[in-house]
Amino acid sequence: MLKLLGLFLSALTFSFASGIPKPWQIGFQEARSPLMGVINDVHNLLLYIIFAIALVVMLLMGYTIYKFRASKNPIPATFTHHTALEITWTVIPVLILVVILIPSMKILYVFDKIENPDMTIKVIGHQWYWTYEYPHDEEAKTITFDSYMIPTKDLKPGQLRLLDVDKPLVIPQGKTVRVLVTSQDVIHSFAVPSFGIKIDSIPGRTNETWMRVDKPGMYYGQCSELCGKDHGFMPIAVKVVPQNEYDAWHASQIEPASKSMTAKKENINE
């Protein structure tokens, strides 16, 4: 019986789950990072607890309605206190909250602890696009580019409306990436559901999070803080690739940036 109940709850939660959002989806997207894995575990635990609480409350209500109906109890009782019951319905909720607290604290710890990141990326929110900055290398070169949503009329077959962008954020597979998030104008929110990330992008302040994705592919998110009239048109696309592909992409991005910097220096010297 318990096994069937578990299968039912799991099916209800993840029947529409996937790496990208689907029409009529009611559950989480498939977890692709340790952060989202921890969130899923706590969510499933809470689902069982909530179901058990709802079941107990419904049974107690049914018992009370049947046991103390007017036809069987024409003269109602007049007592107003019951010490044992009052202790019971105080202690049980406290125990339930403790059970919820322990894994919830684990979430806070996992989100806050960034161990030996392999690289750092800076994310800057704008109205209504994102800017991504990659770290300096040994020669003090950097990669910076803006990421805009692809208009519906320009979409190619297979691209997703309101989600695909002209230049996705590219990260290597299996590497711990530290993400610094800020804003140039108003408050935004950098959110990628498959990674369990949702962090505010605030002007004048830098927040940080991290991600590690072991499966290559495209992952999507959106700005999740109302930021103006085009709030719904600043998606986030993250492309996860093997290390060798990332190295090739990184090198291809540095070369144009180097030429641009050289041209600027020549103009200044002139």
Three-state SS string across the chain, please? CHHHHHHHHHHHHHCCCCCCCCCCCCCCCCCCCHHHHHHHHHHHHHHHHHHHHHHHHHHHHHHHHHHCCCCCCCCCCCCCCCHHHHHHHHHHHHHHHHHHHHHHHHHHHHHHCCCCCCEEEEEEEECCEEEEEECCCCCCCCEEEEECECCHHHCCCCCCCCCCECCCEEEECCCCEEEEEEECCCCEEEEEHHHCEEEEECECCCEEEEECCCCCEEEEEECCCCCCCCHHHCEEEEEEECHHHHHHHHHHHHHHHHHHHHHHHHHHHC
Task: Tell me whether the CATH fold assigned to 31-112 matches the one assigned to 119-269.
Answer: no
The structural domains of the chain, with segments of one domain joined by +, span: 31-112, 119-269
Residue 214 has phi, psi (to 5 degrees) of: -95, -10
Entry pTM: 0.76
Per-residue confidence (pLDDT) for residue 255, from 0 to 100: 64
User: What's the chain's average pLDDT?
Assistant: 84
d(CA 79, CA 9): 41
Q: Which of 116-125, 126-135, 220-229, 253-262 has the lowest mean pLDDT?
A: 253-262
The CATH code belonging to domain 31-112 is 1.10.287.90
Per-residue confidence (pLDDT) for residue 248, from 0 to 100: 92
Per-residue confidence (pLDDT) for residue 31, from 0 to 100: 85
Span 147-195, pLDDT tens digits = 999 999 999 998 899 999 999 999 999 999 999 999 999 999 999 999 9
Residue 94 has, within 13 A of its CA and on its CB side, a CA count of: 6
Per-residue confidence (pLDDT) for residue 222, from 0 to 100: 93
Q: Among 3.40.630.30, 3.90.226.10, 2.60.40.1180, 2.60.40.420, what is the CATH number of 119-269? A: 2.60.40.420
Span 50-94, pLDDT tens digits = 999 999 999 999 998 998 888 888 887 787 888 888 999 899 999
